[in-house]
Amino acid sequence: MHRDDLGPKLETFERGAATFNISHSHNTVCCLVADMGAVGVDIERIDRCRGVDKLAQVFFSEAEICALNALPSDQLHAYFYRLWTLKECTIKAKMQGISTAALKELCFAELSGRAGVNSHVDSLSYFAFRLAGFQIAYCLGSMTGNKVDIRVYKPGVRQSRQINPAVQCYIQAAPIS
């Protein structure tokens, strides 16, 4: 394993090095490996007892808070965790330290079904999905010819999911001041 400007890399037998990123939540670990480019992944167990309103006030942009407040209560936690994991995986891919300011500065906009990266903001592609009570999000710095493998490990259980992203789910938007 070695590091360069794209983050940690694994030596592979076939083509040099692959980039990777890991995340954990409770007793579950998620690992993302890609052929090339910057990558970031985050996994969070969806906890309905967590005070997401207070956390959003501290870590979300004004636009995200407005979107969160407009939702019915049964959709609140799912939306919160989707945004939270998107923010964390982005910061990891950009190799920035996770801080209140960095999280609040990122702003994501959900589009119906399809979305593209707002190219004047950055060149990452974003994806999010739920799996067995967890919210998982990841971002890739390179989509062209990039093979992606994401695996979730839990003691006593191995859930594996091969990801071949075809549709981008989110865009990063400029925050509203």
What number is the average pLDDT over the span 105-126? Answer: 57
pLDDT value, residue 176: 40
Confidence (pLDDT) at 51? 85
Domain of 118? 2-173
Does residue 119 have a pLDDT over 70?
no
pTM for the full predicted model: 0.78
**For residues 148-168, average pLDDT:** 67
pLDDT at 167 (0 to 100): 47
Residue 21 has pLDDT above 50, yes or no: yes
Residue 87 to residue 91: CA distance in whole angstroms: 6
Q: Which residues make Cβ contacts (< 8 Å) with residue 99, sequence separation at least 6? A: none
More confident call, 76 vs 174? 76
Q: Binning pLDDT at 50, 70 and 90, where does residue 118 land?
A: very low
Q: Which position has the token pair 């890991």?
A: 22
Provide CB contacts within 8 A for 45, sequence distance 6+. Answer: 25, 26, 28, 133, 134
Q: What is the pLDDT of residue 48?
A: 78
Count of the separate structural domains present in the chain = 1
Average pLDDT rounded to a whole number, residues 55-63: 91
pLDDT at 177 over 50: no
Once rounded to an integer, what is the mean pLDDT over residues 136-145?
Answer: 81
Measured distance CA(25)–CA(13) in Å, rounded: 31
pLDDT band at 170 (very low <50, low <70, confident <90, very high): low
Greatest CA separation found in the chain?
A: 50
From CA 105, how far away is CA 96, in angstroms rounded? Answer: 12
Which of 38, 65, 51, 43 has its CA nearest to residue 154?
A: 43
Please report, for the domain that includes residue 140, its CATH number: 3.90.470.20
Number of Cβ within a 10 Å radius of residue 92: 22
